Structure 1
């Protein structure tokens, strides 16, 4: 295959393990940008294999598609990303991953206690969240979101 021919959507699906419909969805979300050959068929760069692989990994990290699109917008559009490109991206993702790890650690460590949600249905809530004091911090499971119970 000549580089100018690009990859067909079927070849891209086979290389990434994604369904053709998923590739079309990611295209619609602006994560990849194919072109059309003279016959009107979509064609993709080999770099799109790496881009779609990154999308799948980033989703496992908890990034939303808009966040992934922002990260990919910093990559070169017409060449395979270099190791330096990926190193720069990974540095940017470390803070996000560290925050996610902290949140999951709090969830694991506090799963059996009051989460500061305001339901006041557990006996422990009377100790950890008397009179639903957590509501002053906002809505949702405040203690799992990082707020500390008032001392």
Structure 2
């Protein structure tokens, strides 16, 4: 199996060397070490990096990518069937995010109109004053 230096892997994957180190710290990719303690990557890392980059572009958290990669065998690049399974898993999350953004887009004018001065009336941050049931003081809106 052909091994790639850090620079070669970064160049071929279209990422910075620091991105490779970051992905490795997150457990998304793995390297081997030479006797001189230099990193070397198996060529299959290029496909894993491609999957990571696509997932990042559509907003999939790296944690979700890591969970998907955990089900893949080591030493084999993700194939078409693997990608189909991963993308099917992420589809629901993306659909929920799209629905949230559409809801925000449709109500953004009302939100801007209120100026966030009346959180009891804000249909985005506090629909039906649901946060009031949690007691006084500020509450964090996470989109849920």
Unaligned runs of 5+ in 1: 147-151
Match of 2:91 in 1: 94
Q: 1:44 aligns with which of 37, 41, 56?
A: 41
Match of 1:149 in 2: none
Q: Distance in 1 between matches of 2:122 and 2:23?
A: 48
Relative distance call for 1:110 and 1:140 in structure 2 (3 A) is: farther
The structural deviation recorded for 1:21 is 1.1
- TM-score (norm. length: structure 1): 0.75
Relative distance call for 1:6 and 1:120 in structure 2 (3 A) is: same
Q: CA RMSD in A?
A: 3.1
Q: Distance in 2 between matches of 1:101 and 1:38?
A: 49
Unaligned runs of 5+ in 2: none
1:50-94 deviations in whole A, cap 9, x for unaligned?
Answer: 111221221222222222211111122111222111111111111
| 1:44-83 matches, cutoff 5 A | 44-83=41-80
Q: Structure 1 residue 22 and structure 2 residue 26: aligned?
A: no
1:81-113 deviations in whole A, cap 9, x for unaligned?
Answer: 221111111111111111111111112111111
Q: Distance in 2 between matches of 1:48 and 1:61?
A: 20
- TM-score (norm. length: structure 2): 0.78
